[in-house]
């Protein structure tokens, strides 16, 4: 076998390998198992529940069967905090009252005068050359609250509490993890990185160009 024929054989194999690599890489990216992450609202409420649990553990004097009146400063997102507080208190078998008129009937009062809930998306990127777009997600929860014994007027637990949840989500899932009607669960998507806009087309065009060049070179 002549040297020319050997080179043509190697070039032919090279073309085949390049084409197979592109097809394999694309197929792998497209068929990865995809699970929709937790919603922003769910993360916020879980954070409030964790903080509530810590306040109860810090107080130590609140027992199953005790009564607590929950007072949350009225705001558009107050119901998110109040709902999560109530759920966690009931999990500790505490009798919960939400009405302002019920304060005199309860042994304890949990007051939340301020709160801040927000979502941020940072650093959009692609998961692999042919992968889908992703962003880093931050869900922040902060509120000031105090748990008070109404009989002795003792503050059992209080202060400013915060939680920050971070992970990575697919851009295509943003519509599913946000609630259109709840503004605090929505965030602004960042611009795609400059290199990510062009790297995939350049890889495809470059690989195709190499394959065409090798193919015509073999024929000649």
One DSSP character per residue, 116-185 reads EEEEEEEEEEESSTT--EEEEEEEEEEEEEEEEETTT--EEEEEEEEEEEEEEEEGGGHHHHS-TT-GGG
CA 193 – CA 87 distance, rounded (Å): 41
* β-pairing verdict for 133-149 and 108-126: antiparallel
Higher pLDDT, 218 or 123: 123
For 173-186, what is the mean pLDDT?
Answer: 95
Confidence class for position 27, pLDDT limits 50, 70, 90: very low
Helix, strand, coil abundance in the chain, percent, nearest 5: 45, 30, 25
Nearest to 81 by CA among 180, 179, 155, 161: 161
Choose the weakest-confidence range: 44-53, 61-70, 163-172, 204-213.
Answer: 204-213
For 187-205, what is the mean pLDDT?
Answer: 65
CATH of 35-189, one of 3.40.1000, 2.60.40, 3.40.50, 3.40.190: 3.40.50
Could you count the other beta carbons within 10 Å of the beta carbon of residue 120? 15
Res 150 pLDDT > 50: yes
- What pLDDT shows up at residue 126? 86
Confidence class for position 119, pLDDT limits 50, 70, 90: very high
Higher pLDDT, 201 or 164: 164
Say what percent of the chain tops pLDDT 90.
Answer: 49
Q: What is the pTM of this model?
A: 0.72
Q: Which residues of 48-76 are buried (b: 16+ CB within 10 A; e: fewer)?
A: bbebbeebbeebeebeeebbbbbbbeeee
């Amino acid at each position: 076998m002549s040297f020319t024929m050997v080179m043509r054989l190697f070039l032919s194999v090279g073309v085949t390998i390049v084409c197979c690599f592109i097809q394999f890489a694309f197929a792998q990216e497209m068929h990865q198992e995809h699970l929709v992450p937790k919603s922003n609202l769910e993360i916020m409420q879980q954070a409030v529940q964790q903080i509530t649990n810590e306040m109860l553990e810090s107080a130590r004097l609140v027992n199953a069967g005790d009564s607590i009146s929950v007072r949350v400063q009225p705001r558009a997102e107050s119901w998110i905090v109040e709902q999560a507080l109530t759920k966690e208190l009931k999990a500790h078998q505490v009798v919960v009252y939400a009405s302002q008129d019920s304060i005199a009937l309860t042994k304890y009062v949990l007051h939340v005068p301020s709160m801040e809930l927000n979502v941020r998306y940072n650093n959009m990127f692609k998961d692999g050359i042919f992968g889908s777009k992703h962003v880093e997600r931050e869900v922040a929860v902060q509120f000031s609250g105090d748990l008070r014994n109404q009989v002795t007027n003792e503050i059992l637990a209080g202060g400013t509490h915060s939680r920050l949840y971070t992970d990575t989500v697919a851009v295509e899932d943003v519509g599913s993890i946000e609630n259109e009607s709840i503004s605090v669960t929505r965030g602004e998507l960042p611009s795609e990185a400059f290199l990510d806009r062009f790297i995939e087309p350049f890889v495809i065009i470059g690989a195709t160009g190499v394959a065409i060049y090798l193919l015509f070179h073999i024929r000649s």
